[in-house]
Amino acid sequence: MTEPEAQRTIYRNIVVVLVRGGAVLAVALVLLLGMLMYAFTTFPHADSTSSIAAVIGTLIAALLIWLAVRIVGSRISADQDGVFVHTVFRPCKYIPWGDITGFELIPARRLNNQFTRSAVAIAVMRTGQRKPLYCLGASFTERSAAAESMLEALRASHDSTQIHVNTADRH
């Protein structure tokens, strides 16, 4: 008999990931549509330079579609064993609860853009690591009630696993 799959709680600012991922996807689809229109209207008469440009445009559109999917998938998920941090550009990072010292709401300068100058993110603080780990999915344009709520929920998950670990150690 197999064990039931662990329940994972997902922490993500759905508005941020949908808006940013949607914007990237929109650009990708416009570019892809342009390349398809180009292919059907001028491809038979195009020279090799135009054909190469169309292929490059299509590859860029495919890359943007991949990027949009990664942006929408950015999140922190937690189960009874640890936390998974799903970032946009790096592979998913797993951190066991024992390696986590806590969670903090920190300034996230790399997530600032033309519209957001004071981005903050919930960071996973790890033992033996000076650099905090955070992702776009757990970021906010500024300190807010939603950011504080997510932070408290992650802290509560961390605290409850520490209680279970300490109870198991006594037995």
The ranges assigned to domains in the chain are: 14-72, 75-170
Q: 13 exposed, middle or buried (CB, 10 Å; 0-12, 13-18, 19+)?
A: buried
Higher pLDDT, 7 or 83: 83
pLDDT, tens digit, 9 for 90 and up, residues 111-141: 776 666 788 889 999 988 888 888 888 888 8
Of the candidate ranges 1-5, 18-22, 58-62, the one whose mean pLDDT is the lowest: 1-5
Q: Please, how many CA atoms are within 13 Å of residue 118, restricted to the half-sphere of its CB? A: 3
Tokens of 56: 């490059």
Cβ-proximal residues to 171 (8 Å cutoff; 6+ apart), any chain: none
pLDDT at 165 over 50: no
As a whole number of angstroms, the distance between CA 93 and CA 83 comes to 8
Average pLDDT estimate for 57-80: 92
Cβ atoms of 50 and 34 within 8 Å: the answer is no
Of the candidate ranges 103-107, 142-146, 163-167, the one whose mean pLDDT is the lowest: 163-167
CATH T-level assignment (fold) for domain 75-170: PH-domain like (2.30.29)
Nearest to 106 by CA among 129, 79, 135: 135
Average pLDDT estimate for 52-81: 91
Average pLDDT estimate for 142-154: 88
Question: What is the three-state SS of the chain?
Answer: CCCCCCCCEEECCHHHHHHHHHHHHHHHHHHHHHHHHHHHHHHHHCCHHHHHHHHHHHHHHHHHHHHHHHHHCCEEEECCCEEEEECCCCCCEEEEHHHEEEEEEEECHHHCCCCCCCCEEEEEEECCCCCCECCHHHEECCCCHHHHHHHHHHHHHHHHHHHHHHHHHHC
